[in-house]
Amino acid sequence: MSYSGPGPEPSHPRRSPLRRPLTVAVAALAAGGLLGWGVYAAVGGGDEGRAASAAPSGGAASPDDDAKRPAGSSPSPGTKSPSPSASGPLKGKVVVIDPGHNPGNFQHASEINRQVDIGTHRKECDTTGTATNAGWPEAEFTLDVAHRLRTLLQEQGATVKLTQDGDRPYGPCVDERARIGNEARADAAISIHADGSGAGNRGFHVILPGAVHGGGADTRPIVAPSAELGERVAGNFLRTTGSAPSNYLGDGTGLVTRTDLGGLNLSTVPKVFIECGNMRDDKDVALLTSGTWRQKAAQGMSEGIVSFLRG
């Protein structure tokens, strides 16, 4: 997901009195969860994953072998996903996982370029997302991590729904992605991405919905619970992966607020985006292409969601 596009966010910070800047150590995050995380309404701009320029065939690493065999993944799109555990702390809870983009979007330019209403304005149905310099697409990364996360949450008893599982030719559009979570009455929803920023820009960040009230969008009821969800995901992601918060967005907090993303604007359930790293930075790519690291990433997301849903 790249940030080169219209609609920049205000650069002034929006801080809640319940949140402080990120000054605690990883150990404190493990013990105290989210109390050390602050929210920063950083410059957003961009879209929900603007297509990167054609990726060169050389450069950064390609994903290791288990990229195509993620834990909990289906051998083929039609294979039935695992069932939730009969018992567990998340029994009765519904989680929607939104794997950003779709591997087939590249072949459906006209369909994904059509405009949809996201409340504040109109924008593309979807985009191709970015890719590593070696050509591994963001859409493959997001689906891999989504499968891993699904398995972990189902082991905790949750009912899990994916917005897409490589089982459709393109999309869904950003408005439909939000609608899937709304219609499922999800207790929590998370959209998984990787960024396409410049080399040297590193780290993860979690995107929180800002207050939007216009057109078909009204995020006001979900701003506070989404912020809590995002803080818990960010804290646990840092702890499990050891990855640092973004050095180019979020003022070092790993948290960014945006009002230009349809997947957040149109959501009526608590929802966040996570940008797991930068696919155009070699050091981040070494992590993103590692199956071991991706499992840690899914674990961090899972623990954050479990923490949020258990209260």
pLDDT for 105-124, tens place per residue? 999 999 999 999 999 899 99
Full set of structural domains in the chain with CATH: 26-51+70-310 (3.40.630.40)
**Interhelix angle for 138-155 vs 291-310, to 10°?**
50
Alpha-carbon dihedral 190, 193, 197, 199, rounded to 10 degrees: 120
pLDDT recorded at residue 84:
74
Block residue for tokens 């155009």 = 280
**Looking at the predicted structure, is the pLDDT value of residue 34 above 50?**
no
The per-residue pLDDT of the chain, averaged, comes to 82
Tell me the mean pLDDT in the region 34-47.
37
Beta strands in the chain (DSSP E): 94-99, 115-117, 122-124, 159-162, 188-195, 205-209, 213-214, 217-218, 255-258, 271-278
Measured CA to CA, the distance from residue 303 to residue 153 in angstroms comes to 9
The 10 Å Cβ neighbour count of residue 36 is: 19
Q: What is the pLDDT, as a whole number, of residue 179?
A: 98
Q: Which amino acid is at 176?
A: E
Full-prediction pTM beyond 0.95? no
What is the pLDDT, as a whole number, of residue 21?
40
Which secondary structure element, helix H or strand E, spans residue 293, and what is its range?
Answer: helix 291-310
Give the residue numbers marked as catalytic: 275
Q: What is the pLDDT of residues 237-264, one digit of tens each?
A: 999 999 999 999 999 999 999 999 999 9
- Give the pLDDT band of residue 66 (cuts 50, 70, 90): low
**Residue whose C-alpha is closest to residue 255's, from 241, 270, 274:** 274
Least Cα distance to 142 among 97, 202, 109 occurs for 97
**Tokens 């009969």 map to which residue?**
86
CA–CA separation, 107 and 39 (whole Å):
37
Helix ranges (H only) for 184-247 are 223-241
Within 10 A of 67 (CB to CB), how many other CB atoms are there? 18
Structure tokens at 163: 């917005």
The pLDDT assigned to 75 comes to 36
Name the residue with higher pLDDT: 60 or 108: 108
Instruction: Give the pLDDT score at 61.
Output: 52
**Angstrom distance (rounded) from CA 260 to CA 209:** 9
CA 293 vs CA 193, 241, 288, 305: distances in Å: 15, 7, 7, 18
